[in-house]
Each structure stands twice: as structure tokens, then as C-alpha cells.
Structure 1
Amino acid sequence: MQHSNSSPAPLWLPQGRLTPLPDPMTRDWLFDEGSLTRRLTRLSNDGFSVTPLFEGWDRLRADECAALDLPAGSEGWVREVYLRGHGEAWVFARSVASRSALQGDGLHMDELGSRSLGELLFCDHAFQRRAIEVCHYPADWLPHDCRADALWGRRSRFDRGALSVLVAEIFLPSLWNAARAHPENC
């Protein structure tokens, strides 16, 4: 699902290079190395769901190719979903992997449907997670119904042998509202 590329690619930064730092609650969510799916499930009191928006082969963005050590313009599997709490979109997630690495690897991203890719990555202990990077995600890279400026996003690369999956998660204002309303579940 190619979104407008009028915005320049964001500068993805590790925690140590991020200035100014966001507030403590935002930092906690951005740099939490546990499963986001599990955390959203806890926050929603088991009212968590995944809504697929797009799944298919597409050309990867330049920043994604660079993060996956692929030549610019490479094709890969793209999966875009909403992670929801009680039906409300809390997180927009975009996951990508190169065509060459996916073919023959046994990870069937095309068969996930409404299941969480993140949960699959965390359950398969062969995947190694690289450092989390964060940015203000470009508004025109988001689906039309959740576009807003300066939303925090994070991404990390999960490696298993020759397969690398890049997972980006953009935190929507509705998540921060839910987290402030129910801090005991965060």
C-alpha cells in the first residue's frame, strides 16, 4: 500500500540519541522490549484485536531497504494493521520482509489474517530483536483515517537466520488516552 512519499524519510534514532526526550510514559511505551501485543491485551482487559488493512507484495520504502540491508527499490511482503483495544485503533503497525528472505523460510506472513505478527515473533525464540529506534512518523505515511503530525513511532528488526522482519509501530492518540485512563493496566 504505497502511501504518498512527499514527506522525507524520518530519522530513526536509538534511545541514547533521542533529544529532547518525550515524557516518561511515552518513553516507557516506546522503549519497552516486551511484546506490545501482550501489553495492549493487558491494557484492554483482553479486548485486543488486529484489523488487517493491507497485505501483499510491494516495493519497500528506502528507509526500510536500508534497515534490512537490501538494495533500494527491493520488493517485499508488506503487512499493515491496526492494533485495537475494545475496537478502537490504538496502534498502526507496518511490517515488512524481503521477498528473497521469505521464500522458503517457513514464516507465512500471508496467512496471519487477524493474528498478531508480534506475538508470533515473540513466541519463536529463534528470532533475535535488534535495538528499538524511534521517530516522529510522517503523517502522509499513515492511513487517511488516523493521519496526524508528530505521532511517535518505533521500529525494530527481528532476525532469524537469513530472514529479517522489520516491524514499525505508530502510537495513536487513542492509546495515550487509554493509558492515562487506566495506568494500573499499563
Structure 2
Amino acid sequence: MTAAPAFQWLGADQLHPAPPAVLADWLFDSGSLTRRLTALSAGRFAVTPLAEGWQVLRDDECTALDVVPGSTGWVREVYLLGAERPWVFARSVAAREALAGFSGVLAELGRRPLGELLFSDPAFARGPLQATHYPPDWLPAGIRCPGLWGRRSRFHRETLSVLVAEVFLPELWRYQGIDPDTL
């Protein structure tokens, strides 16, 4: 397991200085990111799966899911593409013990966005959003760079919790005419 760099997940009221308004709008928008990216890309949205399977969860994930450090869980990593470019790196995790009885809920998503499932099923409730500069070592090799902002939130359904982290990539900002270095 990769050692955790010094970073913290923080709520909007804990970020000092506050991020620029355009960034805060993306970090703390409680709506469906899938829907927002689909609208921004005029329907040219896609999911590219990178990895999916059982792994030992990172310590910060175990803490967020209220499970013992070193717990095993289901991990899914994908790129969310807009206009055929990677706009977001997403990592979703759920502890193995929490998936008992729910294995079909997350199984074989393939190229379907997890957000589609989470926001279409009213049984899922979303917890608070948190943000951080995502550790570059935790990103896929092709996009490792410091300073990228990410957000995460925990979705609950009965005894199932799914932790979803989303890292906003420079291509998203460029598509909107925003210099990513100003964020």
C-alpha cells in the first residue's frame, strides 16, 4: 500500500484560502457530476475503465468508510471523458464487508458511469463533499502532476457505503477556456 502523503480532505468552510469561485463551484456542486459533464460536453461523455477489483483500501479510505485500516474493498478507477478527452479521474471504493448482499449493485458497471447508478437510485444518500490537492502518486502514471484538485463524498444505502473521489484534470479547465495553472 502506498504511504499517505501529507494532505487532508476538507469541507468548503475549512479551505483557507478559499479556492477560486469557478473551482469551488465544481468541487462543492452536490449534483451529479456525470450529468454536468454530459451537459458541458454536449452529450459527448464517456467512461474509460482503468481498473476494477479487490484491493487493500488506503488508510484515508478506511477512515472515511469507518472500517479497520488494511481492510479489503472493491475499487474502481476510471476516466470520465468529455469531448473525447479525460476530464476527471475517479476512484470509487466500498469495503468488502459492506458489500454483503449488495454485490449486484456495483458488479460489472463496465463503461456505465457509477454516478448514473448513485443518482438514479433514491435509496442512496450523499454525505458531505470534501476537497484536497490530490496526491500525485495516487494518480495514473500518465496524469501525475502536483496541485490537481479532487473532491470526495460518501454515498450510503442501508449498510452499504461507497466512497467516490473525483480529480479534476487540466483538460476540463482548458475546454472551458480556464488556465489550469490559475487554479
Indicate how the Cα distance of structure 1 residues 67 and 137 shifts in structure 2: closer, same or farther if over 3 A, else same: same
**Corresponding residue SS for 2:176:** helix
Q: CA RMSD in A?
A: 1.3
Counterpart for residue 92 of structure 2 = 95
Letter in 1 for 2:133: H
**Corresponding residue SS for 2:101:** coil
User: Which residue of the other structure, out of 142, 145, 168, is the alignment partner of 2:142?
Assistant: 145
Query: What CA distance in whole angstroms lies between the structure 2 residues aligned with 1:140 and 1:133?
Result: 19
User: Which residue of the other structure, out of 79, 99, 107, is the alignment partner of 1:110?
Assistant: 107
Counterpart for residue 74 of structure 1 = 71
Counterpart for residue 130 of structure 1 = 127
Query: What CA distance in whole angstroms lies between the structure 1 residues aligned with 2:28 and 2:85?
Result: 23
**Corresponding residue SS for 1:108:** helix
**Corresponding residue SS for 2:25:** helix
TM-score for both structures, normalised by structure 1: 0.92
Indicate how the Cα distance of structure 1 residues 10 and 22 shifts in structure 2: closer, same or farther if over 3 A, else same: same
Counterpart for residue 184 of structure 1 = none
Larger displacement relative to structure 2 (101-110 or 168-177): 101-110
Counterpart for residue 52 of structure 1 = 49
Note the C-alpha offset of 1:100: 1.0
Note the C-alpha offset of 1:106: 4.9
Counterpart for residue 33 of structure 2 = 36
Query: What CA distance in whole angstroms lies between the structure 1 residues aligned with 2:60 and 2:151?
Result: 13
Query: What CA distance in whole angstroms lies between the structure 1 residues aligned with 2:136 and 2:27?
Result: 18
**Structure 1 runs of 4+ with >4 Å offset:** none
- 1:146-165 pair list within 5 angstroms: 146-165=143-162
Note the C-alpha offset of 1:46: 0.4
Indicate how the Cα distance of structure 1 residues 130 and 79 shifts in structure 2: closer, same or farther if over 3 A, else same: same
List gaps (5 residues or longer) in structure 2. Answer: 179-183
Indicate how the Cα distance of structure 1 residues 9 and 127 shifts in structure 2: closer, same or farther if over 3 A, else same: farther
**Corresponding residue SS for 1:168:** strand
Are the counterparts in 2 of residues 156 and 166 from structure 1 also a CA contact under 8 Å?
yes
Query: What CA distance in whole angstroms lies between the structure 1 residues aligned with 2:164 and 2:91?
Result: 6
Note the C-alpha offset of 1:109: 1.9
TM-score for both structures, normalised by structure 2: 0.94
Letter in 2 for 1:26: L
Indicate how the Cα distance of structure 1 residues 106 and 140 shifts in structure 2: closer, same or farther if over 3 A, else same: closer
- 1:171-182 pair list within 5 angstroms: 171-180=168-177
User: Which residue of the other structure, out of 4, 9, 16, is the alignment partner of 1:12?
Assistant: 9
**Corresponding residue SS for 1:29:** helix
Query: What CA distance in whole angstroms lies between the structure 1 residues aligned with 2:140 and 2:61?
Result: 18
Query: What CA distance in whole angstroms lies between the structure 1 residues aligned with 2:61 and 2:4?
Result: 15
Letter in 1 for 2:10: L
Note the C-alpha offset of 1:7: 4.7
Query: What CA distance in whole angstroms lies between the structure 2 residues aligned with 1:158 and 1:107?
Result: 16
Tell me the percent identity.
Answer: 58
